[in-house]
Amino acid sequence: MNGYNGVLERSSSITPACVLAGREADSTRIWLVDDNASFRALLANLLDAEIDFKCEREFSSPPAILQALARETAPDIILLDIQMGEYNGLDAIRSIKALAPEAHVLMLTTFAGPDARKRAFREGASDFLLKSWTVAEITSHMRQAMEFGSVASLMTAFLSSEKPVEKTAAPEAEEMTSKTSGGERWWAYLRGWLKFSPS
């Protein structure tokens, strides 16, 4: 835990009253991990403006969130940056999932190549998001993670007719697309993807 710079906590008392008044009791709880304080504050405010999200905590490093997870109830979603000074968010995924197996870890980074994406999914991340995306795109992926869990990114790729990173559907799945329903095509595609996914 060396290099721990403290935890930046957000208080619900600073959330606008109009947002609190309209927020449902079962809002998706979010913890945000990023070493850029300005970005954290901006994204937290934007997420808090969404009726179904509540950004409860902000952390500047992986050690900070690991300390909190060891003593507190885990959130629904953890938005995790990759490059954070001396820390790499990819190195923290497995430890986070060990402490919070039900939490959805979504990588949120400026840029990353196929190797980083592949490692993130292998370590247990549910999705891979880019900071250059609009808030609507980010929140859409967060909602899909809550609904579909670890196959959220695959579902997104399927629905947008894109191939998931480094994955290819089995030939038999592709043959079925012309004579099956959307649901059947989705499951055939999923089976093909899982067949070639790394262990």
pLDDT tens per residue, range 3-28: 323 323 333 333 444 444 444 557 89
More reliable by pLDDT, 8 or 63: 63
pLDDT tens per residue, range 94-153: 999 999 999 999 999 998 788 999 999 999 999 999 999 999 999 999 999 988 865 655
**Mean of per-residue pLDDT scores for the chain:** 75
**Confidence (pLDDT) at 111:** 80
pLDDT tens per residue, range 26-44: 789 999 999 999 999 999 9
**Confidence (pLDDT) at 152:** 55
pTM: 0.66
Distance in angstroms (rounded) separating the CA atoms of residues 199 and 184 = 25
Checking if the pLDDT of 63 tops 70, the result is yes
Checking if the pLDDT of 161 tops 80, the result is no
14 DSSP 8-state letter: G
Q: Which CATH code is given to the segment(s) 7-150?
A: 3.40.50.2300
Share of the chain above pLDDT 90, in %: 56
Burial of 157 (0-12, 13-18, 19+ CB in 10 A): middle
Chain Cα centroid distance, residue 143: 10
